[in-house]
Structure 1
Amino acid sequence: MQIQNIPESFLDSTIQSPELFVYDFKMTEDAVNIKVNLTHNMFSFLQLGEKKVKFEDAFVEVNNKQSVLIKSGNCLMTELLDNNEIYFCKLLFFTNKNVVHFLKKHAEYVSKLEKKSNSETPFFVIENDDFIHSFVNSISTILNIKADTKVLLEIKLEEILFYLSQKYGVSFIHYLQSLASAEKNTTFKNIVEANINSNLSLIEIAFLANMSLSTFKRHFLSEYNANPGKWLQQKRLALAKHLMENEHKKPSEIHKQFGYNSLSNFCVAFKNEFGFSPKRVK
C-alpha cells in the first residue's frame, strides 16, 4: 500500500509545502487503514462521515459532531462515508513552529495554568459547538481568496488555539506543549504490545513504528527472541480463545477482530494452535 504524504499530496508538485494550509477533503468511497505520513499537525473538522485513526500506541474515532487535532507523524487512517454516500472534512495544517510561536506569545496566560504530567497522546478530540461551526465557515471563505492568505491563516490559527485553550484549559495547553516538543518517548515494546490484540498486519505495525518491515523484524527478534508473525498469531489466538470461553463469543463474531478476513482461515489457525476446533470451545 502506497504511503500518502499529507498535506504534500494535496499541493501542486511545483509548490513548496507552506507552514499553514487549508484544504477541503472529499471522498465517495470508503478508505480503510490508509498509510499516512503527516508532515504537519492537522485539524480535521469533520462535516460528513466518520474518521478512525490508528497511531503507534493509540486509537481515536470521531463523528461529525466532533473534530480532532492530530500530531504529525505516521498513522493509519480510515475514513467512512455517511448515509449520503460522501465523506467531507475541512483540514487545517500547521507546524510545530506555529505552536511554539503561540505558546511564547501567550506565555503569561499559559503560566497561569497548572502543569500536568499526563502521558502524551497524538490526538486531541474537540466537541463541536457554535464557535467551532463559525470558525469552520470562516476558514472556508479563505479558500476562495486568490491573494496571499498567510497572515489571515496565522490569525485564524491563533484564534482557534486560544479558544480551545480557554474551553479545555490545562489539558489543551499540555497537548500543545507536547506538540512543541519534537521528542517521542514511545518505545518499541510499547508499540508492539499496544497492537497485539488488533487486526493490523506486521507491515502496518512496522509503518506505525516508522520502520521498514525488515528493520521491524530485526528489532522484534532482538527484543523478544521470537518470530513476530508467529508470536502475534499466538497472542491473538489466545485472546480469541479467552473470549469464546469466558464471554461466549462466536468465531464468526471475532475472527476479523484478529486479522482473519476468512472464518475458515481463523478456524484452521485455531486448530493448528490448540489442537482442536473452535467449535469445541464451550
Structure 2
Amino acid sequence: MPIANIPESYLKIGQESPELLVYDFKMTSDVVNSKVNLSMNMFSFLQIGKKQVHFAGTSVAVNKNQSLLLKKGNWLWTELLDQETIYYCKLLFFSEKILRDFLHKHNIQEHESENEIPYFIIKNDRYIKNYLKSLSTLSETSTPFLNNLLQVKFEELMLYLLQNYDENFEKYLYSLISNEISSFKKIIESKVYSNLKLEEIAFLCNMSLSTFKRHFIKEYEISPGKWLQDKRLQKAKELLENGSFKPAEIYFDSGYNNFSNFSIAFKNKFGVSPKEVYK
C-alpha cells in the first residue's frame, strides 16, 4: 500500500506548505490501515463516520462525537463509514512555528510529562460545532486576508482548549515540539496483541520491512513472524482457557484473516484445537 504524504497531497502542484491549512476530507468507502506520513501537526474534526489511528506505541479510536489533535509522524489510519454513505472530517494543519509563536505570545510555560501520548481527544461540544461552522464559512470566503483570519481562528481554538482542558492540554502542546522518538522495542511490544501485519509495524517504526526484520532479529534473536505468532497464540490460549472469548471471536485479533488458518497454527503449537481448549 502506497504512503500518503499529508498535507502535501492536498496541495496544488507547486504550492508550498502553508503555516496553516484547512482541508475538507470526504470519502464514500472504508479505508483500513492506510499509511500516512503526517508532516504537520493536525486537528482532525470528525463529522461523520468512525476513525482509528495507530502511532508508534499507541492507538486510539473515535466517533463523530469526538475529534483528535494528532502529532506529526507516521500513522496508520482506519476510516470507516457509519450509518451514512459518506465519511467526512475537517482537517486543520498547523506548523511548528505557528505553535511556538502561540506558546510564546501567551507565555505558556513548558511542562514535563513522563507519559508522552501522540494524540489528544477533544469532545465535539457546542462550542466546537459552532467553531467548525465559522471555519467552513471562512474557507469559502475569497479574501486577501485569509491567512490572517486563519491565524485568529487558530488562536481562538487553542485558547478555548486551554481553558477547557487546563494543564493536560498545555503538556500535550509541548510534546508536539519534543524531539523524543519512541524506542524500537517499545513500539514492537505495544503491537504484540494487535492484528497489524509486519509491514504495518515496520512502517510505524519508520523502517522498510527488510530493515525492520534485521533490527528485530538483532534485538530479539528470533524472526519477527515467529515471535509475534508465538506471543499471539499464547494470548489466544489464555483467553480460551478462562472462557473470555469463543475461538471464532479471537482469530482476527490474533493476526489471522480466517479461522481455518488460526485453528491450524494453534493446533500445531499446542497439540489441540482452539475449540478443545475452549471447552
The TM-score with structure 2 as length reference comes to 0.96
Is the 8 Å Cα contact of residues 240 and 254 (structure 1) preserved in structure 2?
Answer: yes
SS of the residue 1:258 aligns to: coil
Is the 8 Å Cα contact of residues 55 and 75 (structure 1) preserved in structure 2?
Answer: yes
Give the drift of 1:154.
1.1
Give the counterpart letter for 1:200 in structure 2: L
Alignment of 1:64-213 (within 5 A): 64-107=64-107, 110-111=108-109, 115-148=111-144, 149-181=146-178, 183-213=179-209
In structure 1, the residue matched to 2:275 is 279
Identity among equivalent pairs (%): 55
In structure 1, the residue matched to 2:239 is 243
SS of the residue 2:196 aligns to: coil
Q: Distance in 2 between matches of 1:91 and 1:248?
A: 39
Distance 1:259 1:236, change over 3 A: same
In structure 2, the residue matched to 1:261 is 257
RMSD: 1.3
Give the drift of 1:258.
1.5
Unpaired runs of 5+ in structure 2? none
Query: 2:220 is matched with which residue: 215, 218, 224?
Result: 224
Q: Distance in 2 between matches of 1:24 and 1:119?
A: 32
How many residue pairs are counted as aligned between the two chains?
Answer: 277
SS of the residue 2:211 aligns to: helix
Give the counterpart letter for 2:98 in structure 1: N
Unpaired runs of 5+ in structure 1? none
Does 1:16 find its partner at 2:12? no
Q: Distance in 2 between matches of 1:261 and 1:38?
A: 28
Q: Distance in 2 between matches of 1:43 and 1:247?
A: 41
Is the 8 Å Cα contact of residues 116 and 174 (structure 1) preserved in structure 2?
Answer: yes
Give the counterpart letter for 1:163 in structure 2: Y
